[in-house]
Structure 1
Amino acid sequence: MQVAIVTVGDELLAGDTVNTNAAWLGERLADRGATVERVVVVPDRVADIAQEVNELRAEYDAVVTTGGLGPTHDDLTMEAVAAAVGVPVEENEEAVAWITEHTDYEHADLVEGTTHLPKGCRMLPNEKGVAPGCVIESVYVLPGVPDEMKAMFDAIAEEFSGDYRHVRVVEADEPESALVERFAELRDRFDVTVGSYPGDHVRVKLQSTDEEELDRAADWLRERVDGLDEVDEVDGVEGADEADGV
């Protein structure tokens, strides 16, 4: 399953807020076997959000948006997603009922627009806040407040899946630039993906759906890199039963 993440907010683009939501979602989706192919940050403008969502939903299996939910002047994501899929926004009676039954708010207390969702969507209750999210077609609309976003994603996490991906991590004492040719040969010889992350040592992350192939690749690399020690990591998983909570 290929997924794109759209994070909404002028504050993200200005650097006033660190985009921790994208990093958390990327990790959780990878845990479930889904592949995050794109992460996009867009301003609080309906046209920009709608354009990105419309283009990405045509290319990927699912689009997950965070941010821009609620009734304030810069909460425009619902309107934009509705525009992207070609429907109006309207008061969602299920959202009204859920908020009335599960929060301290009455309908009359809510700021106008709080429960306005794209027509025909599936409402996602906000267990940690007020403004609901939704799912429409392949677009999942989540809050920007991290605690709210995490709780809402956890409620729908089982809807994201993919092939079981095994992981091996090795550490090399050589410079990353010195390993380039060996990485190329590794990819030619074995059906694995290779990621390298420089620091005090170079961390080499190998992934494959075939565990035996992965072990052969790790053994091959270990034999050809000086000062290389293998470090096992928890495998990537498919399905909710094996995914670790965060």
Structure 2
Amino acid sequence: MRVAVVTVGDELLAGETVNTNAAWLGRQLTDRGVTVERTTVVPDRTADIARVVNEYHADYDAVIVTGGLGPTHDDVTIDGVAAAFGRQVVESEDAIAWLEEHGGYTRDDLTEGTGHVPEGSRVLPNHEGVAPGCVVEDCYVFPGVPGEMKRMFEEVADEFSGERRHVVTVDAAEPESALLDRLAEVQDRFPVKVGSYPGEYVTVRFESADESVAEDAAAWLRERVERPDEG
């Protein structure tokens, strides 16, 4: 399963808020065997949300959108997602009924716009807040508040699955440029995905659907590099 994640918010683009939602979703999806191929941040602008969701809907098995839900003037995610699918935005009787029964609200308590979703979508109740999420075809729309988003994802987590990938890492106390020949050779020898990430040490990452293959590739490299504990 291939998924794209779209996070919405001017504050994310301005660096005022750290995009923890994207990191958390990436880990949760990867742990379920899902391949996350895009993580995109877009502003609180209907046209941008619609364009990106429309594009990703055509390219991926599912799209997850977080942020910009609610009745305030800058909460335009529902409008953008509706536009991407050519649907009207309507008040969901299911959402209002859930808020009345479980949230302790009456219809008159709710701000105008609360409970609005794209027409024909499946409503996802918000157990930690007010604004509901929804599912439109293969697009999942969650709140941006981390606690609300995580709780709502748990409700639909079983709808995301794929082939579990196994990761093994090796730290090397050598410059990345000095490792190039060995990295090329290990990739020739083993059917693994190899990545290298410089830092205090160079961390070489091996990924495979077969855990033993990833372990064998890592063992091969460990025997041929200078390790941090050997320095």
State the TM-score, normalizing by the size of structure 2.
Answer: 0.95
8 A Cα contact 2:201 2:228, kept in partner:
no
Write the distance in 1 (CA, Å) between the matches of 2:84 and 2:153. Answer: 21
Letter in 2 for 1:135: V
Q: Which runs of 4+ in 1 moved over 3 A?
A: none
Write the distance in 2 (CA, Å) between the matches of 1:158 and 1:53. Answer: 22
Matched with 1:97 is 97
Matched with 1:170 is 170
Alpha-carbon distance, 1:27 to partner: 0.8
SS at match of 1:3: strand
Write the distance in 2 (CA, Å) between the matches of 1:201 and 1:10. Answer: 35
Matched with 1:183 is 183
Q: Structure 1 stretch 213-222 or stretch 139-148: which is displaced more?
A: 213-222
Equivalences for residues 149-168 of structure 1 within 5 A: 149-168=149-168
Structure 2 unaligned residues grouped into runs of 5+: none
Q: Does residue 1:12 correspond to 2:12, yes or no?
A: yes
Matched with 2:77 is 77
Matched with 1:39 is 39
8 A Cα contact 1:170 1:228, kept in partner:
no
Matched with 2:143 is 143
Letter in 2 for 1:188: D
Alpha-carbon distance, 1:75 to partner: 0.5
State the TM-score, normalizing by the size of structure 1.
Answer: 0.89
Write the distance in 2 (CA, Å) between the matches of 1:113 and 1:189. Answer: 58
How many pairs align? 229
Write the distance in 2 (CA, Å) between the matches of 1:166 and 1:97. Answer: 44
Write the distance in 2 (CA, Å) between the matches of 1:180 and 1:137. Answer: 44
Write the distance in 2 (CA, Å) between the matches of 1:126 and 1:177. Answer: 50
Structure 1 unaligned residues grouped into runs of 5+: 230-246
Letter in 2 for 1:60: Y
Please give the per-residue CA displacement for 1:123-151, whole angstroms capped at 9, x wherever unaligned: 00111000000001110000001110111
Q: Tell me the percent identity.
A: 64
SS at match of 1:54: helix
Alpha-carbon distance, 1:185 to partner: 2.1
- Aligned-pair Cα RMSD in Å: 1.3
Q: Structure 1 stretch 125-134 or stretch 178-187: which is displaced more?
A: 178-187
